[in-house]
């Protein structure tokens, strides 16, 4: 049952991450600069976990080319995701973002089916359609002030994230969870920084966000790390659906904590549909 507790802990961490991302992003002057600060702190935290857990004592790297190919592709897509994640959090409510985030799981499943030759079942197709239905519900509203560009970028961000997730399965096979955790926080920094960003913009984001950005990084690092640990103990098809219950947690917390009460029942209904789709994808 350890995998279950780890998965639930990961869900709570990701729900907290989405909520706080909204709070921090709204005040940001440069979301990409904010993401660089966030990822740099996350990398340092992942490095601390690496040494605290004693992973450095048994440290080793693969000798074949294949692991580094998968790692490079995963880091590229994680970097692309990080470039736009805080812009999305800035223009869309946390409760909406959490529902749209479920598309990353559908992308991960279909990408994994292609990479690992996994069987595509009726349940998985049905789950994907339910997630699209939830996405449609939160995207279409005649009187809504929803940022359409934000919706499109949120979908794109989750496509990038889903591909990265699909490649994580290879990562924990070739690398230890602790080592892989460090690498996927470090290398996307190069994608984030390219081609150039003023250091003054980065300093401004540190000043604006202060301790909140460190807490934000902590939620993401812990949530992602214990998800990797859970996947090392149980199948990803058991772990990820539990982790994705963060959607419903975020919708509920967003309503009560951030007062995101527009289209209240539609959000709750869409959240439940999305969770149903996630469980069909198992």
* Tens-digit pLDDT profile for residues 156-204: 999 999 999 888 878 878 898 899 999 999 999 999 998 888 989 999 9
The owner of tokens 């992942």 is 46
pLDDT of residue 215: 94
- pTM surpassing 0.85? no
- Phi, psi angle pair for 169, to nearest 5°: -60, -40
* Tens of pLDDT, residues 17-30: 888 888 899 889 99
Q: Measured over all CA atoms, what is the biggest interatomic distance in the chain, rounded to whole angstroms? A: 59
Q: Which residues of 1-29 are buried (b: 16+ CB within 10 A; e: fewer)?
A: eebeebbbbbbbbbbbbbbbbbebbeebe
In which domain, by residue range, is 207 found? 2-280
CA dist 265 and 273 (Å) reads 12
Contact criterion met (CB below 8 Å) for 138 and 96? yes
Q: How many domains does the chain have?
A: 1
pLDDT, tens only, 218-238 = 999 999 888 888 877 876 666
Name the burial class of residue 67, with classes exposed (0-12), middle (13-18) and buried (19+) by CB atoms within 10 angstroms of its CB. Answer: middle
Distance between CA 6 and CA 239 in Å, rounded?
Answer: 9
Cβ–Cβ < 8 Å for 197, 33:
yes
d(CA 242, CA 220): 16
Rounded Cα distance between 209 and 202, Å, is: 11
CA distance 137 to 153: 17
């Amino acid at each position: 049952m350890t995998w279950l507790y780890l998965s639930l802990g990961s869900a709570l961490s990701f729900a907290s991450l989405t909520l706080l991302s909204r709070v921090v992003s709204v005040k940001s002057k440069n979301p990409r600069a904010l993401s660089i600060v966030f990822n740099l702190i996350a990398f340092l935290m992942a490095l601390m976990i690496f040494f605290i857990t004693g992973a450095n004592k048994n440290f080793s790297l693969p000798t074949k080319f294949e692991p580094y190919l998968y790692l490079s592709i995963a880091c590229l897509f994680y970097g692309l995701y990080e470039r736009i994640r805080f812009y999305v959090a800035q223009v869309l409510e946390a409760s909406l973002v959490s529902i749209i985030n479920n598309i990353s799981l559908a992308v991960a499943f279909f990408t994994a089916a292609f990479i690992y030759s996994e069987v595509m079942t009726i349940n998985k197709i049905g789950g994907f359609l339910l997630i699209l239905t939830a996405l449609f519900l939160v995207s279409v509203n005649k009187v809504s002030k929803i940022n359409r560009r934000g919706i499109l970028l949120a979908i794109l961000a989750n496509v990038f994230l889903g591909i990265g997730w699909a490649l994580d399965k290879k990562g924990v096979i070739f690398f230890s969870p602790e080592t892989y955790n460090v690498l996927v926080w470090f290398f996307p920094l190069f994608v984030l920084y390219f081609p150039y960003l003023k250091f003054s913009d980065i300093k401004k984001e540190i000043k604006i966000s202060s301790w909140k950005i460190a807490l934000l990084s902590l939620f993401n690092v812990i949530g992602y790390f214990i998800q990797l640990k859970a996947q090392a103990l149980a199948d990803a098809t058991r772990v990820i659906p539990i982790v994705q219950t963060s959607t419903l947690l975020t919708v509920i917390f967003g309503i009560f904590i951030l007062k995101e009460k527009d289209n209240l029942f539609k959000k709750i209904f869409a959240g439940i549909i999305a969770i149903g789709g996630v469980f069909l994808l198992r």
